[in-house]
Amino acid sequence: MSPPAPTFTERAWLAYGFRPFFLAGSGAAVVLMLLWLFMLAGRGPLAQLDPIQWHAHEMLFGFGGAVVAGFLLTAVPNWTGLPTPRQGGLGFLLVLWLLGRAGSWWGGPGAWIDLLFLPALGISLAGPLGRSGQLRNLVFLPVLGMLWSANLLFWMQPQQRGLALSLTVYGLLLLIALIGGRVIPFFTERALAGHQPLRAGWLEGFCLVGLGLSAVVENWSGVSPLTKLLVLGATALFHCLRMFGWGSVRMARVPLLWVLYLGYGFLPLGLLLRGLAWSGWGSLSAGTHALTAGCIGLMCLGMMSRVALGHTGRELRPARLTVASFILLGAAGITRSLVPFCWPQLYGHALWCAGALWCLAFLSFFVIYWPILTSPRADGKPG
């Protein structure tokens, strides 16, 4: 006998944080990119903001914010054993996120509603994190506070929007470094029998401190180009060493694993490209997009693909189209960063090609994972 259909307040798509926010994040990745490409072509509607600033803000706070919310609302119950909002409470968070996207588009006083989402998310996480007594997990609250502060700066001080966006990128990279340092070695050890990832406490510290120093030197006008190159280059080296210590060549057989390494690998690449650009070699934009389209994009896609399968009671075997989406997004990151860096004359072609690849990758995720994220768990368990 089949179980009764869920009521309106018990819909599967609101059963856990990853469900609505992974769909929202992947959908936003496509829609926001298409709007940006239409703007570039002169055929689309224009947001009230400067188009470049709108594009950067929405890819970070719209796309990135949704994926971060989906992950943390799912991970915190696993870490603490205590629930985060579901059903109506989760729907409320989703509405705040959607209103933020509308406010960012229309600008003016309505843009202030964009400042409500991250505090609401932080409050939702603070309860279980605080009650659990697990101090190491509280670090995510200050990082969310940093992201919110950057968003506040963006809206309050238009002349400081470049600084606000830079701090937002580094805030998301810090989340990736923190979360990646936990899950990538863990996933590697589970997927590769007999492999023991190497982790050194001093290196972990250097990687995190290096990101903080990189954020400072990039945004402090009194720092010389050589100092910026040395700090960014050293931080890139630390993250390379960290990643190589975790990995094994055998990971090439595990798509849900190699996509995370590929994404993390864009972090040191982006830092190095920006360090070189500050010294006169190449453009800062190339490094920025290695960090954003490459690192943030691939880490989000890889984590969404894995979490959605695991937390819906399915085998960790992605569909072929999902694996293809990993390749498409990796190609987008390379096309948007290395191609303009090495061949500036191809910038325009690289931008359009990368945008198309990005859209195809996240559209593939949305189509494949829609039925997975909107239906009950395959094993019949709640969640």
pLDDT per residue, tens digit, the chain (383 aa), is: 333 344 444 689 999 999 999 999 999 999 999 999 999 998 877 777 899 999 999 999 999 999 999 999 999 999 999 999 999 999 999 999 999 999 999 887 878 899 999 999 999 999 999 998 888 899 999 999 999 999 999 999 999 999 999 999 999 999 999 999 999 999 999 999 889 999 999 999 999 999 999 999 999 989 999 999 999 999 999 999 999 999 999 999 999 999 999 999 999 999 999 999 999 999 999 999 999 999 999 999 999 999 999 999 999 999 999 999 999 999 999 999 999 999 999 999 999 999 999 999 999 999 999 999 999 998 888 87
- Please state the domain extents for the chain: 11-156, 198-374
The length of the chain is 383
Closest CA to 317 of 380, 362, 372, 383: 372
Per-residue pLDDT, 3: 35
User: Does residue 217 contact residue 199 with C-beta atoms inside 8 Å?
Assistant: no
**Half-sphere CA count of 110, side-chain side, radius 13 A:** 13
Token code pair at residue 257? 């694993």
For residue 96, give every residue at least 6 positions away whose Cβ sits within 8 Å of its Cβ, in sequence order, or none. Answer: 113, 116, 117, 120
Assign 58 to helix, strand or coil.
helix
Angle, to 10 degrees, between the axis of helix 320-342 and the axis of helix 347-373?
160
Note the pLDDT tens digit of each residue in 174-206.
999 999 999 999 999 999 988 999 999 999 999
* Residue 163 DSSP class: H
Distance from C-alpha of 37 to C-alpha of 51, rounded to nearest angstrom: 10
Three-state secondary structure call for residue 41: helix
Query: What's the rounded Cα separation, in Å, for the pair 130 and 137?
Result: 9
Cα gap 351→332, rounded to integer Å: 9
Q: What is the DSSP letter of 4?
A: P
Task: Find where tokens 């190497």 sit.
Answer: 198
- Phi then psi dihedrals of residue 229, to 5 deg: -60, -45
Identity at 318, one-letter amino acid code = P
Q: For residue 78, which amino acid is it?
A: N
Cα 337 off chain centre by: 17
Q: How far is 247 from 370, CA to CA, in rounded Å? A: 31
Q: Round to whole Å and give the CA distance between 309 and 174.
A: 25
Range list of β-strands (E), the chain: none
Query: What pLDDT score does 90 carry?
Result: 97
Q: Which of 297, 316, 289, 304 is nearest to 365 (CA)?
A: 304
Buried b (16+ CB within 10 A) or exposed e, 167-204: bbbbbbbbbbbbbbbebbbebbeebbeeeebeeeeebe
pLDDT for residue 10: 64
Rounded to whole angstroms, how far apart are CA atoms 28 and 21?
Answer: 10
Residues 6+ away with beta carbon under 8 Å from 365:
26, 301, 304, 305, 322, 325
The torsion angles phi and psi of 246, rounded to 5 degrees, stand at -75, -35
The pLDDT value given to residue 6: 43
Sign of the Cα pseudo-torsion (41, 43, 48, 54, in order): negative
Structure tokens of 182? 């936990």
The letter for the amino acid at 157 is Q
Residue type, 86: R
